[in-house]
Structure 1
Amino acid sequence: MNISGDPNIAVAIREYFDSGHTYEVILDMLKCNHDISISMRTLKTHLKESGLYRRGNYSPLPEVRCAILSELRGPGQLFGYRTMWQVLKQKHKLRVKRDVVMRLLRQLNPQGIALRTRRRFTRRTYHSMGPNFIWHVDGYDKLKPFGLALSGCIDGFSRRLMWLVCGATNNNPAVIAHNYINCVKSLGVIPMRLRTDFGTENGTMAAIQCTLRHAHTDYYAGSSSHSYGSSTGNQRIESWWSYFRRGRYGSRDCGFAVEERELDVFPEEGLPVGLCGDPNIEEYLQQAVQQNTLQQPQDWESATELYLALKDIAGF
């Protein structure tokens, strides 16, 4: 197979490689996300022809130092060298050795190193200036064995659920970007900041967010409008269902108006067909709906009734 002949596949391989994934993981993602099966030898040959090497061709040290300093001005001050190394690769597109990152962190953040060594961590304080200041995006995988993948986004200030979508997959970048664009179209605004974990499914959405914010002049404009963090640290979306009090205390709407024509430039390609990740389960459910003249739900109440009806039909 001539990978170089397909620019989309070549770009995907470069993105996966730059994100630091192993060769085995790259092969697996090519098969799952692009339905492309190639051998390890073919992959290595393509990487070599494209000038992509794990060793050598490292980023200039001053550039790496500046990137680390920019991260240390925010939540990055709590990062260990492994997390910082991932951020440098995925967010700043820098190629650097982990031991170099470790040495730089010792120089630039000795206090943080000392706290981690003594395992005395500073409890982080969550701060949000108002609605649409930061959206948190994450996926829920517990129902994937049944072919149901959930993707959700929550506003960090009001804890308003921006979207909660159940579909065939939440690992396809096109699907996550589709959810983001639909939400932005319905609201007419984009958030000041967007936070996700390091999953490659968030890459397209992050790129769209940064593109839409590139012409703004605030502190978080452009590439600073998106930030990566561990899934466990993304507490606002992880615990959106928990109890909370509503109120706005001297806050302001931090969103930026966006017109639909600005969103039309992002083609929505690669969306999977179907609503369930397991085609057999989806076929069974569709037949059950048709044979029992059940109606498609229009709200959460009718969705609950349909779920209970299907459960009785299946005998669960």
Structure 2
Amino acid sequence: MSSDKQPNQYKPLPPEDQVLPIIKKYFDLRRSDVDILRYVHAEIDLEVYGMSIKSLRRLKQKHGLVSTRQQAHTIESIAPYVSEVRTRLPAIGAGDMVSALWHDHGIRAPHGLVLAHDKAVDPVAVAARKRKGLKRRRFWATGVNDVWSFDQHDKWKRFGLMLHLCVEVFSGKLLWLKVWWSNRQPPLLASYYLEAARECGGVCLVTQSDPGGENYGIANPHTVIRQHLDPSLAGTIQHRWMRKGVNVKSEIKWSVFRRQFAPGFEGLLEYGLTMDIYKPTDALHVLIFRWLVIPWMQLQMDNYRIRSNQKLPRKNNKKVLPHGIPDLIFERPQDYMAADYKVRVDEDLLDAAQEKYAPADHPVFQLVPPIFDARVQAAYATLGRPAVTVNTLWTIYSALLNEVSNHLTPGEQAIVYGISVTSDEAVDFLPELPGEYVPWPNHGAQNAG
């Protein structure tokens, strides 16, 4: 009798390194095991491999992907983590707290448990968040990547921080949420657009914004890219200029941002002004503030954007657009009976647009002047490179300000105080004619994918 092991009737499991990223991705999106298995089946060769729901659960258990029920949290066990999140995001409700606990601390807590905690700790705040203050507006979109809507936000201008975002309107996915010392320089806005185009592998059909000369920073490269790939669009502008209050989707995102993200961080920044720690009219104060605060605040906004894109919003029966997680609608529109109108763009075409509209040597891309960056880097190293948090921000800022000011040479002082830090005016940037020829790489017209 042969001792060779006979194969059974089941197909072998796919390699773990192939399926584990897929499982983790949709586990992080809080999808059910049935949904995760469906996504795995869509990615593997089912002629060769197989996977059952039991195999999936064994693989999850092996790699510590524990469900909400299995984590078995209580009000007492989540309390310190909820308190930590509230130091940064004091105004978010239970649904967003569930998302923040998972994203920031790996805690899967049910919505009811978080709500029970909030009602026990601060019932007044829970009641305040339930007020019905929504204003309904209409917006139409035919599918994913039909329209990208972008807008700036100047509410933090008094701190020297300028914000900008873009939303894919059909899915509600935030494509970018940026903080910088400017939001009115066209090359900077062009860089945001081109970065998103690289991440998405293409561009939308039409961009949209409020009126404003700085918005040509996106309208121009988008129009020329679309014309380059589809010559029939020559003589047209692939951008919509919306009157004030009509760029609805971006304005909704800013409203949610103001309600959920802004209060805690705005209070932190306001403290620095009130206590006279930070003087936004002093060039040295401003440059150290930019160097320390902008990268840290960008990290906080990146986390907020990821949470927003991975969170299932509350169902709205008055909404015609599909209900689902923005990331999933954007990546898998076919699951929502929707089309994807993405126009695929090659890297060399994006490189040409980058060189023309967002040249890397433009001064707007300097966080601080290079000579000052070297000085503040050395000072930060002297302090031991402390981690910036909501509790340490102003302590580190004060120590850094003292260390830098004590070691600035007369030449460096002349450079620092010769910089204008009180204005954010757009550079001269004349609109292009819609049909202007640009000698970019010729790939012929490409269809929307």
TM-score by length of 1: 0.49
Larger RCO (CA under 8 A, 6+ residues apart)? 2
Greater Rg by CA: 2
TM-score by length of 2: 0.36
